[in-house]
């Protein structure tokens, strides 16, 4: 593609910004009457604008759905606009007030993420997604057993990354306080600080030699089984999603078939995990590794509808460590200026919460 002249760049930006607002093809008359273009380049005739639009179409930045219609941006047009022309905007005072809802204390990383993506979808008007920290490097922080009813206990497992798992289970006999304390102490001394993978692999018979009383051994074995179940249920690639309903406000998803395809994509955790993973979020600067993936950049083999989306995302984390990624997934006709301002600001705010754990 050749280098665009300043007037062509301005016309491309005008078409994109008008199309983002209206979702309707933009004609030459609308472009020619644009006051910004007139102030910068002087009065533009319809013929001049038509020639420039035709050149931008030939370069692959615009397309004409019908011969009598105006132009719409292509994926290449959006990419050029975002990369070369879009100026970052400031986050407003009102938006900052909303962002402050993502604040410590939070019960867990997952709770903090759910609050974060809820705020993000309200601010941007798009579905917000986030990947939970990969469980591979997580560790058991502490365990607790509490009675909730006669002969019924709840196991609470908390990990170093803030995951919290609960398991209710029945025991055959009433459990004394001293026996409960013995088993809790055994669980924490044996499993505390262990990686989740090691905690799952440890053989109970090899680590329980210090438990001699039969009833205590029986309770410890039952609790151990609950720990293994809890660890097994902590998925490596769990996705938090909020705001699916906002897609129905977008003209692209007005038809039921398009809406269904979009909903199927957003309900497929595996596909969303792949989209986030493949969105070039590898930079090591938390809240600065912004990634914009547009249209065909998004590959989900089981979901052709992904090519109609764009994803604006960042890495998030705390203490210099990247935990995962978060961002917004919307139509290619996205308000990129809003997303590129708000997604990094949200990640920076989330970092403060995560560092409070």
The β-bridge relationship of strands 140-149 and 321-331 is: unpaired
Number of folded domains that form the chain: 3
| Residues 147 and 126 occupy one common structural domain | no
Helix (H) or strand (E) holding 80: helix 75-80
CATH number at residue 158: 3.30.390.60
| Residues 32 and 181 occupy one common structural domain | no
| Residues 14 and 102 occupy one common structural domain | no
Q: Which residue range is the domain that position 22 belongs to?
A: 6-85
Distance from C-alpha of 152 to C-alpha of 150, rounded to nearest angstrom? 6
| Residues 149 and 229 occupy one common structural domain | yes
Residue 1 lies in a domain: no
Distance from C-alpha of 106 to C-alpha of 114, rounded to nearest angstrom? 10
Give average pLDDT by consecutive 10-residue segment, the chain, 357 residues.
Answer: 85 96 93 89 89 95 87 95 90 94 76 92 95 80 90 90 85 88 94 89 88 90 91 75 90 87 87 74 48 84 85 86 88 94 93 82
| Residues 201 and 273 occupy one common structural domain | no
Structure tokens at 81: 């606009």
Which residues of 201-301 form beta strands (DSSP E)?
Answer: 239-242, 291-294
Q: State whether residue 260 is helix, strand or coil.
A: helix
Closest CA to 333 of 81, 110, 130, 152: 81
| Residues 127 and 169 occupy one common structural domain | no
Residue 144 per-residue DSSP state: E
Could you read off the pLDDT of 240-294 as tens digits, one per residue? 999 988 988 899 888 888 888 888 888 888 888 887 776 644 444 444 456 888 9
DSSP 183-217: HHHHHHHHHTT-BHHHHHH--HHHH-TT--SHHHH
Q: Is the dihedral of CA 188, 190, 196, 202 positive or negative?
A: negative
| Residues 328 and 252 occupy one common structural domain | yes
pLDDT at 282: 45
| Residues 109 and 244 occupy one common structural domain | yes
pLDDT at 237: 66
Q: What HEC string does 291-317 produce? A: EEEEHHHCCCCCCHHHHHEEEEEEEEE
DSSP 334-349: --HHHHHHHHHHHHHH
Q: Is the dihedral of CA 199, 200, 206, 211 positive or negative?
A: positive
Final residue in a domain of this structure, among 233, 257, 287: 233
Whether the CB-CB separation of 347 and 129 falls below 8 Å is answered with no
Q: Report the predicted TM-score, pTM, of the whole model to 2 decimal places.
A: 0.77
Residue 10 lies in a domain: yes
**Residue found by looking up tokens 């409070």 in the block:** 356
Residue 13 lies in a domain: yes
């Amino acid at each position: 593609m050749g280098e665009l002249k300043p007037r062509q760049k301005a016309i491309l930006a005008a078409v994109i910004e008008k199309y983002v607002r209206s979702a309707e093809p933009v004609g030459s008359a609308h472009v020619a009457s644009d006051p910004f273009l007139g102030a910068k380049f002087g009065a533009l005739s319809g013929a001049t604008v038509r020639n420039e639009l035709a050149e931008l179409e030939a370069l692959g930045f615009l397309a004409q759905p019908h011969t009598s219609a105006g132009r719409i941006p292509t994926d290449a047009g959006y990419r050029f606009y975002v990369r070369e022309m879009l100026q970052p905007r400031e986050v407003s005072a009102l938006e900052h007030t909303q962002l402050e809802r993502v604040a410590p204390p939070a019960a867990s990383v997952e709770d903090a993420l759910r609050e974060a993506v809820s705020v993000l979808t309200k601010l941007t008007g798009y579905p917000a997604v986030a990947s939970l920290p990969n469980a591979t490097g997580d560790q058991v922080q502490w365990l607790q057993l509490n009675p909730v009813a006669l002969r019924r206990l709840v196991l609470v497992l908390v990990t170093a990354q803030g995951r919290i798992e609960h398991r209710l289970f029945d025991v055959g006999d009433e459990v004394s306080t001293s026996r409960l304390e013995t088993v809790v102490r055994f669980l924490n001394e044996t499993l505390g600080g262990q990686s989740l993978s090691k905690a799952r692999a440890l053989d109970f018979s090899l680590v329980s030699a210090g438990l001699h009383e039969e009833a205590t051994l029986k309770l410890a074995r039952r609790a151990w089984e609950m720990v293994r179940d809890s660890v097994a249920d902590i998925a490596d690639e769990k996705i938090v999603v909020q705001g699916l309903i906002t897609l129905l406000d977008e003209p692209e998803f007005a038809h039921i078939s398009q809406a269904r395809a979009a909903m199927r994509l957003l309900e497929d955790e595996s596909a969303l995990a792949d989209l986030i993973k493949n969105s070039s979020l590898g930079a090591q600067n938390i809240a600065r590794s912004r990634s914009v993936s547009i249209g065909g950049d998004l590959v989900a083999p089981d979901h052709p509808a992904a090519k109609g989306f764009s994803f604006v995302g960042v890495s998030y984390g705390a203490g210099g460590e990247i935990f995962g990624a978060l961002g917004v997934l919307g139509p290619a006709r996205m308000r990129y200026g809003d997303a590129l301002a708000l997604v990094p600001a949200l990640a920076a705010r989330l970092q403060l919460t995560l560092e409070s754990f």
